[in-house]
């Protein structure tokens, strides 16, 4: 990881929503770790903004507790924690209250702040208000330093709302000041997709329709919706995972080689993938997607209530907790290669994996018992919980009876580098401080993702269903999920223990 100690000018990290969950579980522990490893710019301060009746001391107490509980390296380094805590200030105001922004101005003047990073860790409805208020108070730029804004997901709920939000953002900030965050992109293995593809010469010749049969991308969660049921009812898998994480993983897997490794060049290629997605309209939407909802079941010995039993879920809900989809990237590299995507809650294992399934040999030479199946060559990129890459191939099993068995070559991040991969938020916060937007989503990219996703939402709305197929929590979806991929003679990869 790089260091942000570049300028010597004072930098303020302003967290809107400092009393919230994200700040305490992710942002402050990440800032602590960056401070502990000497990567924060100096001088540096954290300014928290929220309604709660806190002052500087109360904010410091709460942030101390957050670091003690959530820091990934324990025990906590007391000196690194103290310097971070001492840099903290609290502004108590509602987001729509101009006096809060005047307090920010005063703090910037008192602390001689030149660089400002505004982090919107707030309910998404608050983004336009905060942005407008920052503009009204002329806090969107600073003549002597830089000003940036990091915006959390979700960025809109469909194409129209994302466009409206973009308009509000661009009414105050220039696009190069805007860092739309998707924390998946901060994960080491996600970045490793690019290194794997573009720092090694042997894979690119295989990475196309001539050699790849199909691609599968899975994001499975074992948890149900729990206390997030209210939000989930309006989101479903499609907004919660598909529009952002899944499409991001797809762009990195399918993109062409960028002309350089910088923010614009990489994002230019990612946008082209989204623009090449074959549009789904009308009946195509139903033919290429499959939705389901979980019922009660048991996962790891624990009973999970059914989706409709959760508080805040409409008894007639048709919100999908499982989604499978078949996508095509209509360009020269990928024409005709199906990309199967699945994601769901209350599934048997927690896993995020991209698997590239290569074509069979053109002619079967060995008339042997073949335990490797029809398509023995699979390259699996595991994003979580274990970060690593596995290549599976067929090998002759020892012994006089001729048998081909599947075997694999494994790269395990933790074993190879003898360390846990850093938290995604550490990487992304640091990148936003040094002004590297490569791992953040650009305006045209987020809108292209929403355009594709909104067509699916519109297709579902135009052909409503009274109920969805159901699956028992702890299973890989209803039989229909297997039929969805099975109708083309393929099967979902078996994941987990």
Ligand X SMILES: NC(=O)c1ccc[n+]([C@@H]2O[C@H](COP(=O)([O-])OP(=O)(O)OC[C@H]3O[C@@H](n4cnc5c(N)ncnc54)[C@H](OP(=O)(O)O)[C@@H]3O)[C@@H](O)[C@H]2O)c1
Catalytic (active site) residue 467: no
Our finding on whether 70 is near ligand X (CB under 6 A) is no
Please identify which residue in 3, 5, 22, 435 interacts with ligand X, judged by CB under 6 A. 22
Write down the least CB distance from residue 167 to ligand X, Å: 19
Please identify which residue in 68, 76, 107, 126 interacts with ligand X, judged by CB under 6 A. 126
Contact 349, 222 (CB under 8 A): yes
Beta bridge partners of residue 173, listed in sequence order: none
Our finding on whether 122 is near ligand X (CB under 6 A) is yes
Vertex 266 angle, CA 261 and 268, to 5°: 140
Write down the least CB distance from residue 292 to ligand X, Å: 24
122 Ramachandran zone, left/alpha/beta (phi>0; psi -120 to 50): beta
Write down the least CB distance from residue 494 to ligand X, Å: 29
By CB under 6 A, what part of segment 34-63 binds ligand X?
50-52
Our finding on whether 145 is near ligand X (CB under 6 A) is no
- Residue of 89, 183, 245, 386 marked active site: 245
Beta bridge partners of residue 298, listed in sequence order: 303
What is the enclosing helix (H) or strand (E) of 238?
none
Choices 148-156, 207-215, 280-288, 482-490 (CB under 6 A): range interacting with ligand X: 148-156
Please identify which residue in 37, 68, 83, 124 interacts with ligand X, judged by CB under 6 A. 124
Our finding on whether 95 is near ligand X (CB under 6 A) is yes
Write down the least CB distance from residue 227 to ligand X, Å: 11
Pick 96 or 488: Cβ nearer ligand X: 96
Identify whether 119 is preceded by a cis peptide bond (ω within 30 of 0): no
The single-letter DSSP state of residue 23 is: I
Our finding on whether 283 is near ligand X (CB under 6 A) is no
Our finding on whether 243 is near ligand X (CB under 6 A) is no
Identify which of 353, 350, 249 has the alpha carbon closest to the alpha carbon of residue 300: 350
Our finding on whether 248 is near ligand X (CB under 6 A) is no
- d(C-alpha 281, C-alpha 458), whole Å: 8
Q: How far is CA 304 from the centre of its chain?
A: 25
Our finding on whether 21 is near ligand X (CB under 6 A) is yes
Identify which of 249, 17, 244 has the alpha carbon closest to the alpha carbon of residue 122: 17
Write down the least CB distance from residue 482 to ligand X, Å: 31
Question: What is the distance in angstroms between the CA of the first residue and the CA of the last residue of the chain?
Answer: 33
Q: Which two tokens stand for residue 100?
A: 């809060």
Query: By three-state DSSP, how is residue 148 classified?
Result: strand
Instruction: Find the length of the chain.
Output: 497
Residues that bind ligand X (CB under 6 A): 17-22, 25, 50-52, 94-95, 121-124, 126, 152-154
Provide the annotated active-site residues. Answer: 245
């Amino acid at each position: 990881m790089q260091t942000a100690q570049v300028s010597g000018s004072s930098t303020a990290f302003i967290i809107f929503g400092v009393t919230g969950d994200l700040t305490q579980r992710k942002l402050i522990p990440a800032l602590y770790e960056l401070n502990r490893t000497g990567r924060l710019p100096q001088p540096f301060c954290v300014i928290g903004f929220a309604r709660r009746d806190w002052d500087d001391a109360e904010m410091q107490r709460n942030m101390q507790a957050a670091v003690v509980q959530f820091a990934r390296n324990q025990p906590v380094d007391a000196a690194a924690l103290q310097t971070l805590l001492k840099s903290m200030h609290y502004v108590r105001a509602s987001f729509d209250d101009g006096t809060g922004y005047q307090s920010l101005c005063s703090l910037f003047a008192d602390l001689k702040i030149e660089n400002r990073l505004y982090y919107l860790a707030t309910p998404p409805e608050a983004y336009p208000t905060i942005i407008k208020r920052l503009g009204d108070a002329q806090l969107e730029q600073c003549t002597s330093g830089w000003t940036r804004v990091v915006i959390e997901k979700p960025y809109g709920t469909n194409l129209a709302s994302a466009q409206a939000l973009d308009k509000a953002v661009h009414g105050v900030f220039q696009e190069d000041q805007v860092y739309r965050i998707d924390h998946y992109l901060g994960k080491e293995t996600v970045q490793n997709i690019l290194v794997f593809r573009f720092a090694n010469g042997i894979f690119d010749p295989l990475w196309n329709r001539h050699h790849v049969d199909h691609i599968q991308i899975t994001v499975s969660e074992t948890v149900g919706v729990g206390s997030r049921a209210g939000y989930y009812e309006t989101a479903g898998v499609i907004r919660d995972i598909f529009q952002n994480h899944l499409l991001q993983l797809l762009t990195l897997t399918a993109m062409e080689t960028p002309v350089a490794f910088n923010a614009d060049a990489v994002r230019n290629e990612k946008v082209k993938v989204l623009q090449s997605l074959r549009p789904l309209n009308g009946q195509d939407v139903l033919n290429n997607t499959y939705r389901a909802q979980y019922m009660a079941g048991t996962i790891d010995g624990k009973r999970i209530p059914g989706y409709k039993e959760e508080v805040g879920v409409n008894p007639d809900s048709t919100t999908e907790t499982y989604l499978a989809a078949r996508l095509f990237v209509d360009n020269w590299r990928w024409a005709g290669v199906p990309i199967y995507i699945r994601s769901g809650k209350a599934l048997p294992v927690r896993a995020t994996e991209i698997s590239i399934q290569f074509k069979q040999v053109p002619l079967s030479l060995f008339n042997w018992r073949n335990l490797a199946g029809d398509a023995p060559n699979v390259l699996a990129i595991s994003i979580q919980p274990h970060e690593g890459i596995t290549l599976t191939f067929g090998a002759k099993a020892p012994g006089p009876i001729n048998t081909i068995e599947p075997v694999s070559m494994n790269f395990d991040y933790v074993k190879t580098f003898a360390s846990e991969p850093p938290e995604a938020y550490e990487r992304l916060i640091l990148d936003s401080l040094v002004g590297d937007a490569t791992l953040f989503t650009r305006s045209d990219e987020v809108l292209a993702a929403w355009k594709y996703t909104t067509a699916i939402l519109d297709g579902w709305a135009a052909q409503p269903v009274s109920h969805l197929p159901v699956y028992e929590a702890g299973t890989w979806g209803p039989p229909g999920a297997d039929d969805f991929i099975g109708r083309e003679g393929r099967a979902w990869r078996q994941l987990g223990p």
